[in-house]
Structure 1
Amino acid sequence: METNSRPEKEVSTSKQGQYRPRRKDTTPKVNPQLAVELVYQELKRVEAYTKRIEDATSKKVQIDGESLESAEKCLKNVLADFERQGNRMKSGGYVDKRVSFYSILCVVISLLFACLMCYLWVDAAKDRDNYKRYYEYYQEQAIEQKGNK
Protein backbone atom coordinates (compact mmCIF):
# COMPACT_ATOMS: atom_id res chain seq x y z
CA MET A 1 0.00 0.00 0.00
CA GLU A 2 1.51 3.00 -1.17
CA THR A 3 0.16 6.35 -0.17
CA ASN A 4 0.20 9.19 -2.54
CA SER A 5 2.35 11.88 -1.07
CA ARG A 6 1.11 14.53 -3.49
CA PRO A 7 -2.69 14.68 -3.46
CA GLU A 8 -2.58 18.45 -3.85
CA LYS A 9 -1.00 18.17 -7.26
CA GLU A 10 -3.84 16.09 -8.52
CA VAL A 11 -6.28 18.76 -7.56
CA SER A 12 -4.28 21.45 -9.26
CA THR A 13 -3.84 19.41 -12.43
CA SER A 14 -7.60 19.11 -12.83
CA LYS A 15 -7.81 22.85 -13.51
CA GLN A 16 -5.04 22.93 -16.05
CA GLY A 17 -7.27 23.09 -19.11
CA GLN A 18 -9.20 26.21 -17.99
CA TYR A 19 -8.22 29.66 -19.26
CA ARG A 20 -8.10 32.38 -16.68
CA PRO A 21 -6.89 35.76 -17.88
CA ARG A 22 -5.01 37.78 -15.37
CA ARG A 23 -7.08 40.75 -14.17
CA LYS A 24 -5.47 44.04 -14.77
CA ASP A 25 -5.99 46.79 -12.27
CA THR A 26 -8.26 49.25 -14.13
CA THR A 27 -8.65 51.67 -11.23
CA PRO A 28 -6.89 54.88 -12.19
CA LYS A 29 -4.18 56.15 -9.99
CA VAL A 30 -5.46 59.29 -8.24
CA ASN A 31 -3.36 62.02 -6.84
CA PRO A 32 -4.92 62.57 -3.38
CA GLN A 33 -3.94 66.23 -3.29
CA LEU A 34 -5.61 66.83 -6.67
CA ALA A 35 -8.77 64.99 -5.54
CA VAL A 36 -9.00 67.12 -2.40
CA GLU A 37 -8.54 70.24 -4.50
CA LEU A 38 -11.32 69.21 -6.92
CA VAL A 39 -13.72 68.45 -4.07
CA TYR A 40 -12.88 71.82 -2.50
CA GLN A 41 -13.65 73.61 -5.84
CA GLU A 42 -16.98 71.79 -6.15
CA LEU A 43 -17.90 72.77 -2.60
CA LYS A 44 -17.17 76.40 -3.46
CA ARG A 45 -19.43 76.17 -6.52
CA VAL A 46 -22.23 74.62 -4.46
CA GLU A 47 -21.86 77.40 -1.87
CA ALA A 48 -22.04 80.04 -4.62
CA TYR A 49 -25.22 78.47 -6.07
CA THR A 50 -26.75 78.20 -2.61
CA LYS A 51 -26.01 81.88 -1.96
CA ARG A 52 -27.57 82.86 -5.29
CA ILE A 53 -30.70 80.84 -4.49
CA GLU A 54 -30.93 82.41 -1.02
CA ASP A 55 -30.53 85.91 -2.50
CA ALA A 56 -33.21 85.26 -5.12
CA THR A 57 -35.55 83.87 -2.48
CA SER A 58 -35.09 86.89 -0.23
CA LYS A 59 -35.68 89.24 -3.18
CA LYS A 60 -38.86 87.34 -4.06
CA VAL A 61 -40.06 87.70 -0.48
CA GLN A 62 -39.37 91.44 -0.67
CA ILE A 63 -41.18 91.72 -4.02
CA ASP A 64 -44.12 89.74 -2.65
CA GLY A 65 -44.24 92.05 0.35
CA GLU A 66 -44.31 95.10 -1.93
CA SER A 67 -47.06 93.62 -4.10
CA LEU A 68 -49.08 92.79 -1.00
CA GLU A 69 -48.73 96.38 0.19
CA SER A 70 -49.86 97.76 -3.18
CA ALA A 71 -52.82 95.34 -3.27
CA GLU A 72 -53.76 96.42 0.25
CA LYS A 73 -53.67 100.07 -0.81
CA CYS A 74 -55.87 99.34 -3.82
CA LEU A 75 -58.39 97.51 -1.64
CA LYS A 76 -58.43 100.39 0.83
CA ASN A 77 -59.10 102.81 -2.03
CA VAL A 78 -61.96 100.68 -3.34
CA LEU A 79 -63.48 100.37 0.13
CA ALA A 80 -63.19 104.12 0.66
CA ASP A 81 -64.91 104.71 -2.70
CA PHE A 82 -67.74 102.35 -1.69
CA GLU A 83 -68.13 104.18 1.59
CA ARG A 84 -68.32 107.52 -0.23
CA GLN A 85 -70.96 106.20 -2.63
CA GLY A 86 -72.90 104.71 0.27
CA ASN A 87 -72.89 108.06 2.07
CA ARG A 88 -74.11 109.81 -1.09
CA MET A 89 -76.92 107.29 -1.48
CA LYS A 90 -77.94 107.73 2.17
CA SER A 91 -78.08 111.49 1.81
CA GLY A 92 -80.21 111.13 -1.36
CA GLY A 93 -77.86 113.13 -3.57
CA TYR A 94 -76.56 110.14 -5.44
CA VAL A 95 -77.65 109.78 -9.07
CA ASP A 96 -75.50 107.88 -11.49
CA LYS A 97 -75.96 109.56 -14.86
CA ARG A 98 -75.02 106.52 -16.89
CA VAL A 99 -77.46 104.22 -15.11
CA SER A 100 -80.30 106.71 -15.38
CA PHE A 101 -79.55 107.33 -19.09
CA TYR A 102 -79.58 103.58 -19.89
CA SER A 103 -82.74 103.11 -17.84
CA ILE A 104 -84.54 105.89 -19.74
CA LEU A 105 -83.28 104.51 -23.04
CA CYS A 106 -84.60 101.01 -22.19
CA VAL A 107 -88.00 102.44 -21.22
CA VAL A 108 -88.26 104.40 -24.48
CA ILE A 109 -87.31 101.36 -26.59
CA SER A 110 -89.82 99.21 -24.69
CA LEU A 111 -92.59 101.74 -25.28
CA LEU A 112 -91.79 101.95 -28.99
CA PHE A 113 -91.86 98.16 -29.24
CA ALA A 114 -95.21 98.02 -27.40
CA CYS A 115 -96.66 100.64 -29.77
CA LEU A 116 -95.46 98.66 -32.79
CA MET A 117 -97.01 95.46 -31.46
CA CYS A 118 -100.34 97.25 -30.78
CA TYR A 119 -100.36 98.64 -34.31
CA LEU A 120 -99.71 95.22 -35.82
CA TRP A 121 -102.38 93.62 -33.64
CA VAL A 122 -104.99 96.22 -34.60
CA ASP A 123 -104.04 95.89 -38.28
CA ALA A 124 -104.40 92.11 -38.11
CA ALA A 125 -107.79 92.51 -36.39
CA LYS A 126 -108.97 94.78 -39.21
CA ASP A 127 -107.86 92.25 -41.81
CA ARG A 128 -109.67 89.51 -39.90
CA ASP A 129 -112.86 91.57 -39.88
CA ASN A 130 -112.53 92.26 -43.64
CA TYR A 131 -112.02 88.62 -44.56
CA LYS A 132 -114.39 87.12 -41.97
CA ARG A 133 -117.34 86.88 -44.39
CA TYR A 134 -115.17 85.04 -46.97
CA TYR A 135 -113.91 82.68 -44.31
CA GLU A 136 -117.42 81.89 -43.14
CA TYR A 137 -118.55 81.35 -46.78
CA TYR A 138 -115.73 78.85 -47.46
CA GLN A 139 -116.46 77.05 -44.19
CA GLU A 140 -120.11 76.59 -45.24
CA GLN A 141 -118.98 75.30 -48.68
CA ALA A 142 -116.58 72.80 -47.00
CA ILE A 143 -119.36 71.53 -44.70
CA GLU A 144 -121.77 71.11 -47.67
CA GLN A 145 -119.14 69.18 -49.64
CA LYS A 146 -118.56 66.83 -46.72
CA GLY A 147 -122.31 66.32 -46.40
CA ASN A 148 -122.69 65.49 -50.16
CA LYS A 149 -120.01 62.78 -50.10
Structure 2
Amino acid sequence: MAKQTSRSNAKPIYVLNGPNLNLLGQREPHIYGTTTLADIEAMVAKHAKARSASVTCRQSNHEGELVDWIHEARTKGSGVILNAGAYTHTSIALHDALATLDIPVIEVHISNVYKRESFRHHSYISPVAKGVICGLGVQGYTLALDAILADIV
Protein backbone atom coordinates (compact mmCIF):
# COMPACT_ATOMS: atom_id res chain seq x y z
CA MET A 1 0.00 0.00 0.00
CA ALA A 2 1.51 3.35 -1.03
CA LYS A 3 0.07 6.81 -0.75
CA GLN A 4 1.82 10.05 -1.63
CA THR A 5 0.59 13.61 -1.21
CA SER A 6 1.74 16.38 -3.53
CA ARG A 7 4.57 18.69 -2.53
CA SER A 8 6.68 21.23 -4.33
CA ASN A 9 10.24 20.20 -5.13
CA ALA A 10 10.99 18.55 -1.77
CA LYS A 11 11.22 14.80 -1.43
CA PRO A 12 8.55 12.91 0.54
CA ILE A 13 9.01 11.58 4.04
CA TYR A 14 8.73 7.80 4.06
CA VAL A 15 6.35 6.39 6.67
CA LEU A 16 7.19 2.70 6.95
CA ASN A 17 5.31 0.17 9.05
CA GLY A 18 6.40 -3.36 9.77
CA PRO A 19 4.78 -6.70 10.55
CA ASN A 20 1.23 -6.97 11.84
CA LEU A 21 0.60 -3.23 11.66
CA ASN A 22 -1.78 -3.95 8.78
CA LEU A 23 -4.03 -5.40 11.51
CA LEU A 24 -4.26 -2.19 13.54
CA GLY A 25 -7.82 -1.58 14.66
CA GLN A 26 -8.40 -5.33 14.94
CA ARG A 27 -5.31 -6.64 16.73
CA GLU A 28 -5.15 -6.16 20.50
CA PRO A 29 -7.22 -2.95 20.63
CA HIS A 30 -6.57 -2.75 24.38
CA ILE A 31 -2.89 -2.09 23.49
CA TYR A 32 -3.02 -0.41 20.07
CA GLY A 33 -6.49 1.16 20.03
CA THR A 34 -9.08 0.98 17.28
CA THR A 35 -7.43 3.27 14.73
CA THR A 36 -6.58 1.44 11.52
CA LEU A 37 -3.38 1.77 9.50
CA ALA A 38 -5.41 3.46 6.74
CA ASP A 39 -6.62 6.00 9.36
CA ILE A 40 -3.01 6.66 10.42
CA GLU A 41 -1.87 7.09 6.82
CA ALA A 42 -4.70 9.56 6.14
CA MET A 43 -3.92 11.46 9.36
CA VAL A 44 -0.20 11.71 8.52
CA ALA A 45 -0.90 12.73 4.90
CA LYS A 46 -3.28 15.48 6.07
CA HIS A 47 -0.76 16.65 8.68
CA ALA A 48 1.99 16.73 6.03
CA LYS A 49 -0.14 18.58 3.49
CA ALA A 50 -0.98 21.27 6.07
CA ARG A 51 2.78 21.80 6.41
CA SER A 52 3.44 21.83 2.64
CA ALA A 53 5.11 18.43 2.90
CA SER A 54 4.37 15.01 1.49
CA VAL A 55 4.56 11.43 2.65
CA THR A 56 4.93 8.02 1.10
CA CYS A 57 3.24 5.44 3.34
CA ARG A 58 4.03 1.73 3.09
CA GLN A 59 3.56 -1.39 5.20
CA SER A 60 5.05 -4.85 4.90
CA ASN A 61 5.19 -8.02 6.91
CA HIS A 62 8.47 -8.86 5.14
CA GLU A 63 11.82 -7.65 6.46
CA GLY A 64 13.54 -7.57 3.06
CA GLU A 65 10.83 -5.37 1.58
CA LEU A 66 11.31 -2.87 4.42
CA VAL A 67 15.06 -2.92 3.75
CA ASP A 68 14.41 -2.23 0.06
CA TRP A 69 12.19 0.78 0.92
CA ILE A 70 14.84 2.15 3.29
CA HIS A 71 17.37 1.87 0.46
CA GLU A 72 14.91 3.68 -1.83
CA ALA A 73 14.52 6.46 0.74
CA ARG A 74 18.28 7.13 0.52
CA THR A 75 17.76 8.94 -2.78
CA LYS A 76 14.01 9.55 -2.99
CA GLY A 77 13.14 10.59 0.58
CA SER A 78 13.81 13.46 2.93
CA GLY A 79 13.30 11.41 6.10
CA VAL A 80 11.98 8.12 7.45
CA ILE A 81 9.38 7.48 10.12
CA LEU A 82 9.63 3.81 11.04
CA ASN A 83 7.42 1.63 13.18
CA ALA A 84 9.25 -1.63 12.59
CA GLY A 85 6.92 -3.60 14.85
CA ALA A 86 8.54 -6.78 16.13
CA TYR A 87 11.51 -6.26 13.78
CA THR A 88 12.53 -3.43 16.11
CA HIS A 89 13.73 -6.05 18.57
CA THR A 90 15.25 -8.54 16.13
CA SER A 91 16.46 -6.96 12.90
CA ILE A 92 20.10 -6.19 12.42
CA ALA A 93 19.26 -5.92 8.71
CA LEU A 94 16.97 -2.93 9.35
CA HIS A 95 19.62 -1.38 11.61
CA ASP A 96 22.26 -1.73 8.91
CA ALA A 97 19.98 -0.32 6.19
CA LEU A 98 19.07 2.68 8.35
CA ALA A 99 22.74 3.29 9.15
CA THR A 100 23.32 4.05 5.45
CA LEU A 101 20.93 7.01 5.48
CA ASP A 102 21.96 10.65 5.51
CA ILE A 103 18.38 11.72 6.24
CA PRO A 104 16.65 11.81 9.64
CA VAL A 105 15.01 8.67 11.01
CA ILE A 106 12.41 8.69 13.78
CA GLU A 107 11.46 5.39 15.42
CA VAL A 108 7.78 5.23 16.43
CA HIS A 109 5.84 2.83 18.65
CA ILE A 110 2.15 3.23 19.40
CA SER A 111 2.41 1.50 22.78
CA ASN A 112 4.95 2.13 25.52
CA VAL A 113 7.27 -0.80 24.87
CA TYR A 114 8.85 -0.34 28.32
CA LYS A 115 5.57 -1.23 30.02
CA ARG A 116 5.39 -4.48 28.08
CA GLU A 117 7.38 -7.72 27.89
CA SER A 118 11.09 -7.38 28.59
CA PHE A 119 12.09 -8.58 25.10
CA ARG A 120 10.49 -5.40 23.75
CA HIS A 121 12.84 -3.20 25.79
CA HIS A 122 15.74 -3.55 23.31
CA SER A 123 15.72 -1.83 19.94
CA TYR A 124 18.09 -2.36 17.03
CA ILE A 125 16.55 0.77 15.46
CA SER A 126 17.20 3.30 18.25
CA PRO A 127 21.00 3.51 17.80
CA VAL A 128 20.56 4.72 14.20
CA ALA A 129 17.49 6.93 14.79
CA LYS A 130 17.56 10.65 15.50
CA GLY A 131 14.76 10.10 18.01
CA VAL A 132 12.26 7.64 19.43
CA ILE A 133 8.59 8.26 20.15
CA CYS A 134 6.78 5.55 22.08
CA GLY A 135 3.64 5.26 24.13
CA LEU A 136 1.87 8.33 22.71
CA GLY A 137 -0.53 6.34 20.55
CA VAL A 138 -1.02 7.09 16.88
CA GLN A 139 -0.16 10.77 17.49
CA GLY A 140 3.45 9.60 17.61
CA TYR A 141 3.40 9.57 13.80
CA THR A 142 2.48 13.26 13.49
CA LEU A 143 4.97 14.18 16.20
CA ALA A 144 7.64 12.31 14.23
CA LEU A 145 6.65 14.15 11.07
CA ASP A 146 6.99 17.49 12.86
CA ALA A 147 10.41 16.46 14.18
CA ILE A 148 11.65 15.62 10.70
CA LEU A 149 10.22 18.80 9.20
CA ALA A 150 12.05 20.83 11.83
CA ASP A 151 15.28 19.43 10.33
CA ILE A 152 14.50 19.77 6.61
CA VAL A 153 12.39 22.91 6.24
TM-score, normalised with respect to structure 1: 0.16
Q: Determine which structure has greater relative contact order: mean sequence separation of CA pairs < 8 Å that are 6+ residues apart, divided by chain length.
A: 2
Query: Which of the two has greater strand per residue?
Result: 2
| Bigger Rg, which one | 1
